[in-house]
Structure formats: C-alpha cells, structure tokens
C-alpha cells in the first residue's frame, strides 16, 4: 500500500478539546510535525485520541496505566461541554483521523453521545447516560472526491491496523518514559525481539527448521529402503537402534548445551548489568565497614572517657591522689603544733601532780615516730624520742631521716578510750601521714588527669571527623549509612555479582564438556551410519541416497545463509546505530561512546557501549540512555535493505522529557531521516516568557525546510476546569 | 514485516554459499544467471521447492511429498 501519511486528526468535545471537529483540527504533512504544549495543554489527550482510534484504549497518566475506552467514556468528555449541556440534551464526543496511502484516502472516526438526564452537578456521572457508541470507516480513491463507507467489520479492522501495524506500534507509537520499555537493555531478549519484529530473520530461521525436518525425513526413508534390502535384518535393526540411541543422546546433550549457554548468557547479562552498580556498591560497602569500625572505636573511647570523668570524685579521697588536701600542706604542721601544745600542757599538769616521779614522757603519738614528727625532728635537729641533739648531717639526723622515709606501716588498731585525747590526736596524725605525703604531687596528678581528658576529647573529635568524612564519601557513591535497606541491597549486589561470576565459570566448563561429548556422539553416529550403509547393500533405488545427501547439503546451506544474513544485519545495525547515535547526541559535550553489537553463540545479541579502545563505558546519563534506545530503534528501521524510512508515521508524546537541551535539536534533525512522517508532542519547545511562546529551537525549526507543520496548544490560565479549553494556533 | 525479503531474494542469498561451486561444480556466472523459474540441478530444484512451499504455507509433510515426487521416490 506504500507509505502511510496522516493528513489530519480532529477532536470533538474530547477532554480539553471543547467544540466540534472544525474547532479542533490538526493538519499534517509528510516530514516532521510538531505540537508544542505546556503541561496540561492537551499533549497526552491528543495521544489518547490516537490510542482510542487505533487500540480502543486510553492512557491514564495519573494512574500510569492503560484502560479500555468503554470504561472511561465519561472521563473523556470535555468538562466545559458537560457544563454547557442542559438536562435532556446530548453532547457528542469523538476523534476523527484522515490518512492516505498511494491509492486511497481513509477516514476513521470513533465517537459516542452522552445525554444529560438529571439536573445538578454536571460532573456527577449518574446524571449522564452514554449512548450511540460508534466507529465509522470510509475510503475514497485518491482520484475521486467521494468517501464510501466501509461496513465490513474485518475490513474496518484491517484499515485501522494499517495506520500503524500492531507489531510496529511499540516502535512507532511512543509515550514518554514508555520508550524505555521498548528496548530494555537489561533484558537480552528485548533487543532480539526488536530485531525479530523489525527484520524478517525469523522467516529464515523457520526455513532452516523446515530444511532440517526434510533432511531427517529423507534420512529415515533411506534407512527404511536399506532395511528392505539388507541381507542381515537383525544386525541392521541393532545398528538402527544404536543410531537412534546416539541420536537421542545427541538431542539430550544439545538440550543441555543450550541450557548451559542460556545460563552463561543470563549470568553474563546479570554481570554486565551489575557492572554499572558493582563499583559503587563495593565502595559503599567499603565505607560502611570503615564507618562501623570507626563508630566502634569511638564508642570504646567514649566509654573510657565517661569512666574517667566518673572517677574524678574518687581522686579527692584516694590516698594515692588526696586532692581533698590541696593547698592544705601547712595545716598538718599547725595541727601537729597544736597537738604538741596540748601534750605539753597535759604533761605539765601531770608533772605538777606527780612532781617527784621520774617518768619519761614522750611527745610522740603511740606507734611513733610518725611522718610529721620526724619531719619536725629533722627541722629542729632534735630527737623527740630521747631528747638528744641530732645535728643536720649527723648519724642521728640521718637515722631520723631514714625512719621518716621508711615504707608505709600497717594501719594502727588504736582503741580510743574515753577522754584519751592524746591517743585520739595521735591517731589523726598517724592516719593522715599517707595523705600528707601526696599533697606535693596533687597538682601533678591533676595535670596528668587533665591531659588524659584532653586526649580522650581530641581522639573522639578526630574519629568523629573521620566518620563524617567517610559518610560524605559514602553519600557521594549514592549511599546512606542509616538506610538498612540500601545496605542489604548493596550486599545483594555484591553477592549477585559473585554468584554471576561463579555461574559463568561453571557454565563455561559445562559448555566445553558438552561440546566435546556432542562431537564424540556425532562421530559415533557417522560410524554407525557407515555400518548401516554397508549392511543395506546397494540393491535399493539410488534416488533415496541422492535425495538424502542433497537435502543434508540444503539444510547446511540454509543454516549458513541464516548465519550470514544475521551477521550482516548486526553489522548494518551497529553501523547505523552509531550513525544515529552520533547525530542524536552531536550537540552534547559528553562522549556517549560507541555502540557495539555482539552475537552470542545461542543467537542472541548483546549491546555494549564502549570507548575507542573497546573498554565498556558505564554510568551514562538518562538522556544518553534514551538516545541509545532511539538510535537502535532508528537503526533497526533504517537497516532494511530496500527503504531507508519507515512507511508508517511515528507518533510520540513527550519523548524528550528526560533529554538535556543538547539532545533536542539532534532528535529533531534525525527523526525525519528514519520516519517518513512524524508527529511529535513536546513541551520543551514552549517558552511562556516569549510572546509567541516558542523557544529559540522552535524558532529555528520554523525556518527549517522539511517541517510539515508546527502547532501551539495553549489553555487559558486562571480558568476553572469547567471553562478550560485548548486553544490551537498553527505556526506552520 | 519490514525487512521483507522476497522469495527470489532469499533464493539469491542461498546461492552465495560456497558449496555450489566447491561440491556441485557451479561457476559464479552460472549461479548469477540462475532464476526461480528455470529448471536446474537437483539441489537448486529442491531449494526452490522448499522456498515456494514455505511462502505458500504448505505443510512440511506435503513439501516432503512433493520432494519425493520430484525425486521419483516411491
């Protein structure tokens, strides 16, 4: 039928397209046709009109799902039309499309009528009755003026499907992010399906299967003839059984080989998909381990620090530190002097009482001499025990010093008797001597403790900084230390990557083994066939042998041809994909790499993006990823031998939503090279700050040759939903 | 089907196989001149029969019967 060109599409009270068909008509020509519209100005509604016409569905962009038109009829009626329809009256809703091929022009219309049956809120579905749902298809010869209605439902269906063939719709009827689903590079069969659908390689594959079947049939007939003419039927049958057994074994081994190849490619696919995320996952895991180790260290330090702080009080009473006595070093001497005075006065009183008795009375406490008394003795150069002089440096003085510096005595178990203040004061002096000794080192111990505290604080601060740095680095690799789910996800990625590697290794070993075994079985089959041929003798019609031999060659020829065509397709695909990819991304500074198609041993195709040296590139932006898919689709379409452009129109709603500015011009330049006609709905060319609402790129496109039409869709701002209508302006 | 090779195109592709020259003694010139409509050697006739049978959706058993008839197999 030749190239299909959509001449026009018109809407009647369909969503925001309020009014009759005449008010809402878009006329198109061959080449690039653009409808520019801001959000809410009717791009997706337009696309839904096409979906209704071709597939009886609409796409709910809020729910992100398709629905049958009959389920959403009330929803598609223009709110303004609902509001303006009085009770008892009806409003007509419809979409109409005109398209042509080389011989005919066709009209397809889908429509229904909604009658308002109750007063009240017009948006209440119960106030309406849907009736007269219909589909009209007409045709006219291009040389005639009159359209003739097509009544045959099959013929209607065929005409509707001929606008864009159902098998092609996934590649020519594109909606926003749905593009990503057309070729999902994470699924190997996705690219294969696209190649199968858009080329006829499957036909060649079917011919290969047919020729193999014919060869097997001829081989079987040949064996039957040989059996009929053999002189040794028993032996012949045995050899046939052996051959059949080998063939069974071969079939089983080939199935195992295919399964192993499949496992290998799945594992390779998985590894290849994980390759993009493995580096980041490894880094994230590394940082998480680092953070965990630092956190543990910080926790340990903080605990020790807390213990240290809690122990500060005990330093006041600990004899080893005696902080309580800080600055009280003189008080001991004062106490000792007071005690001396007390003892002296006590002794005087006693002497007065017992004047004639010659009793030696010591001024020292029991268990003396104590540290303070000895210090005083040394200072006064006098022994308080015997009353003799002990000049500094003398034997006596040195002895006193030696006694003073003696090790700590066992604690005294002094029983204090009532009113025995001598013993009481003596006990105080004796017990306090160990504290007294430490007074001089209190400042030192405080300094030591203070430096310990500072060290803890510094160490904790340093670790906190390191943790913060590690968290920032983790964040740069897309991680979050607090998110347990992400942590598990990374763990899964690493495990899956390791598993994929393991499966690849295992599968490769299996494949090598099965290939050896298959070769061995084939060689056994060949030997058995030779024996069968010898047993069969030569008394049967030679045509059987000749036919079998020729059909064997024929099946090999078909197989070789399929391989050659597939290789050629891939080669063309790679060349054309790269040509489209370069053009689509030419305005972008970043290097998008080179697309490389590789055929695997089980007739699958793997697509990689590599640099000039053939090293895989990962981490391309979303814009590049989508361009890559578009480039491949365009290449599949333009890799055909006969024509360079697709005979069916491309209709795309918001295909540029993930693109950077650098991609947009490339897209509009390249699309006409692949699609004979395209209708692109975009908001990226809309600039609300300009009087004509067009961006610079849109202005450029206006002046460009080969542009079919440019429309601007606008809705009036600050209007309620009931008053909202799409205003259509044609710029070209 | 977009990349729609015609039966003649498929036939021509098959004739590119080196086996025709190596085993069946065809010259390149002779292969170039071969057409779907003129009789030729057995292997060519069988290939034509398979392609035409496939294009006309003839069941594979029927195609084999046609081959048997062509090869005069009982």
Tens-place pLDDT, residues A65-95: 889 999 999 999 999 999 999 999 999 999 9
Tokens of A523: 């060689």
> Candidates 2.120.10.30, 3.90.1150.10, 3.40.50.300, 3.50.50.60; correct CATH number of A5-168+646-730?
3.40.50.300
Asked whether the predicted pLDDT for residue A111 surpasses 80, the reply is: yes
Tell me the nearest-neighbour CA distance from B37 into chain A, angstroms.
19
Asked whether the predicted pLDDT for residue A497 surpasses 60, the reply is: yes
Tokens of A604: 């699958």
Domain chopping of chain B, boundaries: 7-70
Asked whether the predicted pLDDT for residue A60 surpasses 70, the reply is: yes
Domain chopping of chain A, boundaries: 5-168+646-730, 323-444
Burial class (CB in 10 A: 0-12, 13-18, 19+), A184: middle
Measured between beta carbons, which residues in chain B are less than 8 angstroms from residue A637? 2
Residue A609 has a pLDDT of 80
Residue A622's pLDDT band (boundaries 50, 70, 90)?
Answer: low
Tell me the nearest-neighbour CA distance from B41 into chain A, angstroms.
11
Residue A641 has a pLDDT of 44
Across the interface, of B2, B17, B42, the residue whose CB is closest to A557 is: B17
Residue A524 has a pLDDT of 96
Residue A22 has a pLDDT of 93
Across the interface, of A200, A214, A541, the residue whose CB is closest to B67 is: A214
Distance CA A463, CA A471 (A): 12
**What mean pLDDT is predicted for residues A412-421?**
57
Residue A58 has a pLDDT of 93
CB atoms closer than 10 angstroms to residue A196: 14
Distance CA A130, CA A133 (A): 8
- The Cα diameter of chain A in Å comes to 166
B31 touches chain A (CB under 8 A): no
- The Cα diameter of chain B in Å comes to 42
Measured between beta carbons, which residues in chain A are less than 8 angstroms from residue B19? 553, 556-557, 560
**A377-385 long-range contacts, CB within 8 A, separation 24+:** A378/A404
CA A588 vs CA A580, A608, A687, A694, A705: distances in Å:
14, 20, 22, 22, 23
Residue A366 has a pLDDT of 58
Residue A412 has a pLDDT of 53
- For the stretch A712-731, pLDDT in tens is 998 877 777 677 788 889 98
Residue A493 has a pLDDT of 85
B45 touches chain A (CB under 8 A): no
| CB within 8 Å: B54 and A221 | no
Residue A158 has a pLDDT of 94
Residue A121 has a pLDDT of 86
Unique residue bearing structure tokens 């006041």: A316
| CB within 8 Å: B60 and A210 | yes
Tokens of A28: 């198109």
Mean pLDDT, chain A, integer: 84
Q: Which range is most confident: A122-126, A162-166, A169-173, A243-247?
A: A243-247
Q: Model's pTM, two decimal places? A: 0.57
**What mean pLDDT is predicted for residues B28-56?**
92
Residue B4 has a pLDDT of 61
Exposure class string for A457-479: b at 16+ Cβ within 10 A, else e: eebbeebeebbeebbebbeebeb
Q: In chain A, what percentage of residues exceed pLDDT 70? A: 88
Tell me the nearest-neighbour CA distance from B60 into chain A, angstroms.
7
Residue A156: name the closest of A204, A198, A189, A107 by CA.
A107
Count of CA atoms in the C-beta half-sphere (13 A) of A67: 14
| CB within 8 Å: A200 and B54 | no
Measured between beta carbons, which residues in chain B are less than 8 angstroms from residue A168? 2
| CB within 8 Å: A561 and B74 | no
Across the interface, of A201, A207, A553, the residue whose CB is closest to B19 is: A553
Measured between beta carbons, which residues in chain A are less than 8 angstroms from residue B42? 546-547, 550
Across the interface, of A168, A198, A550, the residue whose CB is closest to B3 is: A198
Across the interface, of B14, B23, B73, the residue whose CB is closest to A547 is: B73
Tell me the nearest-neighbour CA distance from B1 into chain A, angstroms.
6
Asked whether the predicted pLDDT for residue A669 surpasses 70, the reply is: yes
- Higher-confidence residue of A555 and A416: namely A555
Tell me the nearest-neighbour CA distance from B28 into chain A, angstroms.
16
Residue B49's pLDDT band (boundaries 50, 70, 90)?
Answer: very high
Bridge partners, residue A149, by sequence: A138
CB atoms closer than 10 angstroms to residue A146: 7
Q: What count of CB pairs under 8 Å joins A to B?
A: 94
- For the stretch A363-414, pLDDT in tens is 566 556 777 788 888 888 888 878 888 898 898 898 888 888 877 655 555 5
| CB within 8 Å: A557 and B42 | no
Residue A642 has a pLDDT of 53
**A692-698 long-range contacts, CB within 8 A, separation 24+:** A692/A731, A693/A36, A694/A36, A694/A731, A697/A661, A697/A664, A697/A665, A697/A668, A698/A34, A698/A36
Q: In chain A, what percentage of residues exceed pLDDT 90? A: 36
Residue A5's pLDDT band (boundaries 50, 70, 90)?
Answer: very high
């Amino acid at each position: 039928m030749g190239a299909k060109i959509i001449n026009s599409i018109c809407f009647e009270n369909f969503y925001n397209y309020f009014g009759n068909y005449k008010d809402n008509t878009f006329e198109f020509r061959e080449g690039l046709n653009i409808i520019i519209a801001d959000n809410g100005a009717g791009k997706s509604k337009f696309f839904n009109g096409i979906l209704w016409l071709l597939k009886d569905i609409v796409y709910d962009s809020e729910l992100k799902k398709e629905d049958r038109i009959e389920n959403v009829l009330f929803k598609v009626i223009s709110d303004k039309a609902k509001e303006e329809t009085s009770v008892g009256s009806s409003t007509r809703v419809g979409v109409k499309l005109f398209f042509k091929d080389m011989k005919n022009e066709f009209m397809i219309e889908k429509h229904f009528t909604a009658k308002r049956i109750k007063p009240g809120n017009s948006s209440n579905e119960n106030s309406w009755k849907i009736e007269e749902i219909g589909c009209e298809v007409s045709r006219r010869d291009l040389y005639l003026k009159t359209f003739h209605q097509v009544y045959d439902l099959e013929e209607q269906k065929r005409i509707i499907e001929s606008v864009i063939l159902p098998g092609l719709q996934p590649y020519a009827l594109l909606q926003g992010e749905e593009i990503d689903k057309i070729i999902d590079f994470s699924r190997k069969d996705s690219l294969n399906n696209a190649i199968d659908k858009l080329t006829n390689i499957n036909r060649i594959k079917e011919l290969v299967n047919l020729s193999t079947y014919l060869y097997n049939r001829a081989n079987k007939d040949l064996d039957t003839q040989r059996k009929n003419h053999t002189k040794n039927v028993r032996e012949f049958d045995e050899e046939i059984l052996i051959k059949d057994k080998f063939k069974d074994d071969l079939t089983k081994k080939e199935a195992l080989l295919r399964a192993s190849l499949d496992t290998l490619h799945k594992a390779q696919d998985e590894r290849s998909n994980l390759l993009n995320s493995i580096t980041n996952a490894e880094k994230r895991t590394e940082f998480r381990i680092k953070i965990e180790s630092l956190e543990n260290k910080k926790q340990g330090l903080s605990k020790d620090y807390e213990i240290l702080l809690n122990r500060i009080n005990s330093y006041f009473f600990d004899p080893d530190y005696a902080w309580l006595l800080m600055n009280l070093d003189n008080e001991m001497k004062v106490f000792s002097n007071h005690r001396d005075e007390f003892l002296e006065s006590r002794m005087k009183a006693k002497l007065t009482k017992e004047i004639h008795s010659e009793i030696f009375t010591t001024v020292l406490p029991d268990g003396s001499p104590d540290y303070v008394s000895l210090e005083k003795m040394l200072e006064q150069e006098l022994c308080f025990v015997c009353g003799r002089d002990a000049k500094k440096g003398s034997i006596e003085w040195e002895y006193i010093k030696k006694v003073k510096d003696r090790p700590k005595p066992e604690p005294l178990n002094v029983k204090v008797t009532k009113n025995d203040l001598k013993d009481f004061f003596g006990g105080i002096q004796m017990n306090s001597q160990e504290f007294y000794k430490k007074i001089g080192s209190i400042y030192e111990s405080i300094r030591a403790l203070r430096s310990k505290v500072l060290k803890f604080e510094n160490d904790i601060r340093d670790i906190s900084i390191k943790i913060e740095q590690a968290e920032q680095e983790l964040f740069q690799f897309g991680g979050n230390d607090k998110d347990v789910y992400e942590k598990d996800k990374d763990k899964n990625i690493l495990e899956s990557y390791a598993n994929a590697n393991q499966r690849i290794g295992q599968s490769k070993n299996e494949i090598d083994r099965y290939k050896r075994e298959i070769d061995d079985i084939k060689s056994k089959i060949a030997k058995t066939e030779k024996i069968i041929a010898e047993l069969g003798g030569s008394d049967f019609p030679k045509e059987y042998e000749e036919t079998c031999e020729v059909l064997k060659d024929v099946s090999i020829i078909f197989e070789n041809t399929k391989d050659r065509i597939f290789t050629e397709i891939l080669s063309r695909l790679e060349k054309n994909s790269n040509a489209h990819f370069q053009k689509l991304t030419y305005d972008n500074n970043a290097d998008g790499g080179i697309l490389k198609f590789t055929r695997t041993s089980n007739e699958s195709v793997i697509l990689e993006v590599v640099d000039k040296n053939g090293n895989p590139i990962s981490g391309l932006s979303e814009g590049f990823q989508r361009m890559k898919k578009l480039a491949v689709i365009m290449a599949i379409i333009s890799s055909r031998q006969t024509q360079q452009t697709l005979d069916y129109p491309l209709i795309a709603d918001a295909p540029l939503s993930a693109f950077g500015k650098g991609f947009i011009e490339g897209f509009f330049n390249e699309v006409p090279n692949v699609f004979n006609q395209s209708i692109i709905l975009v908001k990226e060319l809309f600039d609300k700050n300009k009087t004509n609402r067009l961006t610079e790129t849109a202005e450029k496109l206006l002046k460009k040759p080969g542009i079919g039409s440019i429309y601007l869709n606008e809705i009036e701002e600050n209007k309620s939903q009931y008053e909202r209508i799409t205003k259509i302006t044609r710029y070209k | 089907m977009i990349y729609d090779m015609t039966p003649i195109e498929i036939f021509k592709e098959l004739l590119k196989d080196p086996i025709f020259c190596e085993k069946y003694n065809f010259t390149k010139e002779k292969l170039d001149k071969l057409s779907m409509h003129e009789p030729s050697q057995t292997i060519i006739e069988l290939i034509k029969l398979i392609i035409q049978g496939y294009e006309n959706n003839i069941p594979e058993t029927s195609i084999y019967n046609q081959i048997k008839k062509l090869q005069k197999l009982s």
